Copies of this chain bind each other. A is one copy, B any other.
Amino acid sequence: VASCLRTTDLDSNLNCDIFLCLVGQSSFSLRSHTCGELCSSHVDEEVTLCGWIQYLRQDLFVILRDFSGLVQILIPQDESKSELKNAFLGLTVESVIMVKGRVRCRPEGQENKKMSTGEIEVCAESMEVLNTCRKLPFEIKEFVKKSEALRMQYRYLDLRSPRMQYNLRLRSQMVMKMREYLCNLHRFVDVETPTLFKRTPGGAKEFVVPSGDPGKFYSLPQSPQQFKQLLMVAGIDRYFQLARCYRDEGSKPDRQPEFTQVDIEISFVDQAGVMSLIEGLVHYSWPEDKGQINVPFPSMTYEEAIRDYGVDKPDTRFGMKLVDVTTAFQESQIEFIKDALLKPSGCIQAICVPEGTVRTESGDSHSYVPTPQLNLQRSQCSLISKQINLFKQLFLMAQANAGDLIFITAGPRENVVCRPLLGKLRLQCVELLESYGVPVRDPSVFHFLWVVDFPLFLPKEDNPEMLEAAHHPFTAPVPEDAHLLYTQPRKVRGQHYDLVLNGCEVGGGSIRIHNASQQLYVLDTILKEDPSLLSHLLEALDSGAPPHGGIALGLDRLVSIIVGAPSIRDIIAFPKSFRGHDLMSRAPDFVSEEDLKPYHISVVWPSADIEGQQDNSNKPSDLTGRPFR
A contacts, CB < 8 Å to B: 1, 20-21, 23-25, 27-31, 50, 52, 65-67, 94-96, 98, 130-131, 133-137, 154-160, 165, 168-169, 171-173, 175-176, 179-180, 183-187, 189-199, 204, 207-220, 226-227, 230-231, 233-238, 244, 246, 248, 250, 257-258, 260, 266-270, 273-274, 276-277, 514-516, 536, 539-547, 572-574, 576, 580, 582, 584-591, 595-606, 609, 613, 616, 619, 622-623
Contact = CB atoms under 8 A, between A and B. Distances in A.
B211 A67 contact: no
13 contacts: A1-B184, A50-B268, A67-B235, A131-B546, A157-B234, A193-B573, A195-B195, A199-B587, A209-B220, A211-B588, A213-B622, A217-B588, A600-B609
Nearest to A594: B615
B159 A590 contact: no
Contact of A605 (B168, B214, B539): B214
B542 A192 contact: no
A162 to B, nearest CB: 10
A609 to B, nearest CB: 8
Contacts of A213: 588, 622-623
Contact of A155 (B25, B230, B584): B230
Nearest to A34: B237
Contacts of A234: 155-160, 573
A515 B29 contact: no
A308 B590 CA distance: 47
Contact of A540 (B156, B172, B204): B156
Contacts of A545: 96, 131
A588 B197 CA distance: 7
Contacts of A173: 183
A21 B135 CA distance: 54
Contacts of A192: 244, 260, 572-573
B274 A28 contact: yes
A216 B546 contact: no
B131 A591 contact: no
Which one of A65, A516, A589 has the highest number of Cβ atoms from chain B below 10 Å of its Cβ? A589
A589 B217 contact: yes
B169 A189 contact: yes
A209 B544 CA distance: 37
Contacts of A246: 195-196
Contact of A227 (B216, B276, B573): B573
Nearest to A272: B28
Which one of A20, A186, A258 has the highest number of Cβ atoms from chain B below 10 Å of its Cβ? A186
A23 B181 CA distance: 12
Contacts of A582: 194, 196-198
B187 A96 contact: no
A144 to B, nearest CB: 15
A536 B184 contact: no
Contacts of A154: 539, 543
A305 B464 CA distance: 72
B216 A267 contact: no
B168 A176 contact: no
Nearest to A517: B134
Contacts of A187: 20-21, 24-25
Contacts of A598: 248, 619
Given A539-B135, A585-B536, A227 B96 contact: no
A295 to B, nearest CB: 13
Contacts of A155: 230, 234
A589 B535 CA distance: 15
A219 B239 CA distance: 29
A226 B585 contact: yes
A269 B599 CA distance: 42
Contact of A130 (B67, B189, B546): B546
B172 A183 contact: yes
A176 B184 contact: yes
Contacts of A599: 208
A543 B176 contact: no
B606 A600 contact: yes
A57 B137 CA distance: 77
Nearest to A545: B131
A184 B546 CA distance: 36
A159 B235 contact: yes
Contacts of A574: 193-194, 227, 230
Contact of A216 (B179, B588, B600): B588
Contact of A50 (B212, B267, B572): B267
Nearest to A217: B591
A303 B541 CA distance: 57
Contacts of A248: 212, 598
Contact of A172 (B190, B196, B227): B190
Contacts of A158: 234
Contacts of A236: 67, 159, 165, 168
Contact of A179 (B67, B179, B230): B179
A133 B543 contact: yes
Given A197-B587, A215-B603, A176 B183 contact: yes
A95 to B, nearest CB: 6
A334 to B, nearest CB: 47
Nearest to A185: B24
Nearest to A95: B544
Which one of A156, A179, A599 has the highest number of Cβ atoms from chain B below 10 Å of its Cβ? A156
B606 A604 contact: no
A196 B248 CA distance: 11
A265 to B, nearest CB: 12
Contacts of A196: 207, 246, 257-258, 576, 580, 582, 587-588
A546 B96 contact: yes
Given A95-B544, A187-B20, A587-B219, A134 B516 contact: yes
Contacts of A135: 539, 542-543
